[in-house]
Amino acid sequence: MSDSRKQGSGRGRRDLTVRVKTAKGRKLSSTLWLQRQLNDPYVQRARAEGYRGRAAYKITEIDDKFGFLKPGARVVDLGHAPGGWSQVAVARVNALGERAGKPRGRVLGIDLQEVEPIPGAELHVLDFLEEGADGQIRDWLGGQADVVMSDMAAAASGHPRTDHMRITALVEAAIDLCEDVLVPGGTFVAKVLGGGADPSIVTRLNRLFAKVRHVKPPSSRSDSSEKFVVATGFRGGARAGEATEEVDC
């Protein structure tokens, strides 16, 4: 016989929130991080769906909005560890050739550390800041890329201005790479912090791309300062032409 009584807010209702006690020797900040991870629906969903992290849903939501991970696309994923973005890209560009009648794309993951293999992705250990890295990436691809994407963020220093400068430097370097490896009409996606990309970066992107926008996907935590800049319609390295106004969305 089923119990038809409603579960109210009193003591009869089970609290489904997982709470973690601070173990001896563990910092309170670590305990709070662990508790947040255990209760994060995106973390739980990632485990259930086989993704290597909740970040997979960020690129999924960004691509749902802008549609750049198309079958047949060649993608460079900078700082790809642990691999969630590459996993999404593999499926969407048909890198495994599992979607009959659709062109087969490629996903090239670049990181400073070795990462467990991802079916359909070609993973390489490389510092993309090193001289000659652009040429090495083109050699691996056998040509140019349709998409360059980056979820990179420098290790937090605890000093907001320093952190902003570090991630700005990474975005600038990724744009340099775009100028060498991205095809005309290509797309660039990168993580930024605070109110968005530095004004100098936005100005530069507006010269190089047809449209530049900021987006904070739903899966990005509300208490996180991260946003993503999405630049579409690469002009092929040409710096001529009118700059388009950057739009937040």
What CATH number is attached to the domain comprising 155?
3.40.50.150
Query: Both 32 and 60 in a single domain?
Result: no
Are 160 and 210 part of one and the same domain? yes
Catalytic residue among 58, 191, 216, 227: 191
Q: Residue 248 above 60 pLDDT?
A: no
Report yes or no on 166 lying in a domain.
yes
Range of the domain at 38: 18-49
Could you tell me if 86 and 22 lie in one domain? Answer: no
Is 85 annotated in a binding site? The answer is: yes
Same domain? For 102 and 168 the reply is yes
Q: What is the 3-state secondary structure (H, E, C) of 128-185?
A: CCCCCHHHHHHHHHCCCEEEEEECCCCCCCCCHHHHHHHHHHHHHHHHHHHHHHEEEE
The response to whether 132 counts as a known ligand-binding position is no
Q: What is the pTM of this model?
A: 0.78
* Per-residue pLDDT tens over the stretch 175-215: 999 999 999 999 999 998 766 678 889 999 999 999 999 99
Look at residue 104 and tell me if it is in a domain: yes
Would you say residue 2 lies in a domain?
A: no
Residue 75 has pLDDT above 90, yes or no: yes
* Same domain (yes/no): 42, 134: no
pLDDT grade, residue 63 (50/70/90)? Answer: very high
pLDDT attached to residue 243: 41
Output the CA torsion 126→178→166→33 (10° steps): -70
Query: Are residue 42 and residue 80 in the same domain, yes or no?
Result: no
Domain annotation covers residue 9 = no
202 found inside a domain: yes
**In angstroms, rounded to a whole number, what is the distance separating the alpha carbons of residues 129 and 182?**
16
Closest CA to 185 of 244, 220, 226, 231: 231
- To the question of whether residue 151 is assigned a binding role by annotation, the answer is yes
Is the domain of 166 the same as that of 235?
Answer: yes
Average pLDDT over the chain, rounded to an integer: 81
pLDDT at 50: 73
Tokens encoding 202 = 């936005």
Question: Is 243 found in the same domain as 143?
Answer: yes
Residue 68 lies in a domain: yes
Has residue 39 been placed in a domain?
A: yes
**pLDDT, tens digit, for every residue of 11-33?**
233 343 334 444 455 454 444 43
pLDDT range class, residue 45, cuts 50, 70, 90: confident
Question: 229 pLDDT exceeds 80?
Answer: yes
Count of domains for the chain: 2
- Annotated catalytic residue 58: no
Q: Are residues 43 and 72 in the same domain?
A: no
Q: Do residue 168 and residue 108 come from a single domain?
A: yes
Instruction: Report d(CA 19, CA 31) in Å as an integer.
Output: 9
Tell me if 83 is assigned to a ligand binding site.
yes
pLDDT at 193: 76
Residue 22 sits in the same domain as residue 112: no
Q: Determine, yes or no, domain membership for 171.
A: yes
